[in-house]
């Protein structure tokens, strides 16, 4: 069962044996307690199963009331396409960045509010995660100078390009609900395929690893395993990731020689899901509502397929 499986995972408390423990101050005050672990396992399984039921219910409803879902989606698109933000190509990376940062804010807020969060960490993080001392509210609004600099560094050039070369032309119509789901799924599979080989090459060749990927694996080796640290990327890998995403959202356009392209709503959905998925895989947390736990039988695309804190 999910509960017994989670108990076994929670009982794997030992951190990596080769970790330089003397360098850092680790999470303390939460010694392994089988009774608490079992309670947390039941709580986790309950939350996960409820969310699974909700997702299945929505999917069945979308099949039964397909025309109603399509009507709602069409009306929503007619309203959304008139907003100023959506008229810019910058819209998609901007929303993805918001998802990226807000995910970490919510994780940190959960850690501040929940005393037994220690049992909701992945095994590799149990010995290396440093608990922050911020309040719940402060965790939500907390912005570091590094975060602000990253936002400017990432978003600034895209905004400038949008101002100089405005090129966004929004379609007047939108495909049906399941067509949008199909487009998002196709982009997720495409991205996973492209990034898998880029990631493989960065690990296969020592020079590429040192130039592009080594910084990403410094979390837990050169500094403690904290959420923000696990997504530390070199300049080269940042642009590698951007290339993979740009290729993905334009792949169908390349294949059809421009006769078909993904809908902007599909692209927004893909960007937000991809970012959320990658954040959850690199955050050090193992929340019951994460996609890798909700999707049963490990049938998932990005989750678990690439870099998971190893």
Strand partners, 179: none
Specify burial of residue 193 (Cβ count, 10 A radius: 0-12, 13-18, 19+): middle
Work out whether the CA dihedral 54, 106, 216, 224 comes out positive or negative.
negative
| Structure confidence at residue 66 (pLDDT) | 93
Q: Is residue 96 part of a domain?
A: yes
The span from the CA of 254 to the CA of 133, in Å, is 49
Q: Is residue 140 part of a domain?
A: yes
Q: Where are the alpha helices (DSSP H) in 65-144?
A: 66-80, 91-113, 136-141
Mean pLDDT by 10 residues, the chain (310 residues): 45 39 42 73 89 93 94 92 82 81 77 75 69 69 67 76 80 92 93 88 84 71 51 67 85 89 92 83 79 67 43
DSSP 212-254: IIGGGGGBTTTB-B-TGGGG---HHHHHHHHHHHHHHHHHHHH
| Structure confidence at residue 165 (pLDDT) | 80
The span from the CA of 165 to the CA of 105, in Å, is 33
Q: Is residue 59 part of a domain?
A: yes
What is the signed CA dihedral for 182, 183, 189, 193, rounded to 10 degrees? 150
Q: Is residue 205 part of a domain?
A: yes
Q: Is residue 93 part of a domain?
A: yes
| Structure confidence at residue 206 (pLDDT) | 83
What is the signed CA dihedral for 7, 301, 276, 239, rounded to 10 degrees? 130
Neighbouring residues of 183: CB distance < 8 A, sequence distance ≥ 6 = 175, 262, 263, 266, 270
> Is 129 strand, coil or helix?
strand
**Max Cα-Cα span within the chain:** 61
Q: What is the b/e burial string over 34-60, where b = at least 16 CB atoms within 10 angstroms of the residue's CB?
A: eeebbebbbbbbeebeebeeeeeeeee
Number of Cβ atoms within 10 Å of the Cβ of 95: 18
Q: Is residue 310 part of a domain?
A: no
Q: Which of the 8 DSSP states describes residue 26? A: P
Domain coverage including residue 98: 2-298
Query: How many domains, in total, are found in the chain?
Result: 1
Q: Is residue 148 part of a domain?
A: yes
Q: Which of the 8 DSSP states describes residue 38? A: H
Taking the chain, what is the end-to-end CA distance rounded to the nearest angstrom?
27
Residue 114's Cα: distance from chain center in Å? Answer: 22
Q: Is residue 306 part of a domain?
A: no
């Amino acid at each position: 069962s999910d509960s017994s499986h989670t108990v076994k995972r929670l009982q794997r408390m030992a951190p990596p044996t080769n970790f330089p423990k003397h360098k850092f101050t680790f999470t303390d005050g939460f010694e392994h307690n089988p009774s608490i672990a079992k309670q947390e396992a039941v709580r986790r399984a309950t939350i996960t199963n409820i969310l699974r039921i909700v997702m299945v219910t929505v999917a069945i409803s979308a099949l039964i009331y397909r025309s109603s879902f399509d009507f709602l989606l069409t009306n929503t698109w007619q309203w959304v396409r008139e907003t100023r933000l959506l008229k810019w190509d910058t819209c998609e990376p901007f929303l993805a960045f918001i998802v990226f940062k807000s995910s970490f804010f919510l994780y940190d807020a959960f850690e501040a509010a929940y005393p037994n969060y220690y049992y909701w960490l992945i095994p590799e993080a149990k010995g290396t995660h440093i608990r922050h001392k911020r309040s719940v509210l402060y965790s939500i609004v907390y912005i570091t100078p590094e975060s602000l600099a990253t936002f400017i560094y990432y978003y600034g050039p895209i905004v400038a390009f949008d101002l100089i070369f405005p090129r966004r032309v929004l379609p007047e119509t939108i495909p049906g609900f399941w067509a949008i789901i199909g487009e998002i799924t196709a982009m997720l599979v495409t991205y996973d395929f492209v990034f898998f080989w880029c990631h493989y090459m960065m690990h296969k060749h020592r020079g590429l690893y040192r130039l592009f990927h080594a910084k990403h694996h410094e979390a837990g080796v050169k500094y403690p395993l904290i959420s923000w640290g696990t997504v530390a990327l070199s300049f080269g890998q940042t642009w590698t990731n951007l290339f993979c995403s740009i290729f993905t959202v334009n792949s169908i356009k390349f294949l059809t020689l421009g006769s078909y392209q993904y809908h902007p709503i599909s692209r927004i959905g893909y960007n937000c899901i991809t970012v959320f998925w990658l954040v959850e895989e690199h955050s050090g947390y193992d929340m019951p509502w994460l996609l890798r736990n909700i999707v049963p039988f490990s049938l998932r695309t990005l989750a678990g397929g690439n870099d998971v804190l190893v």
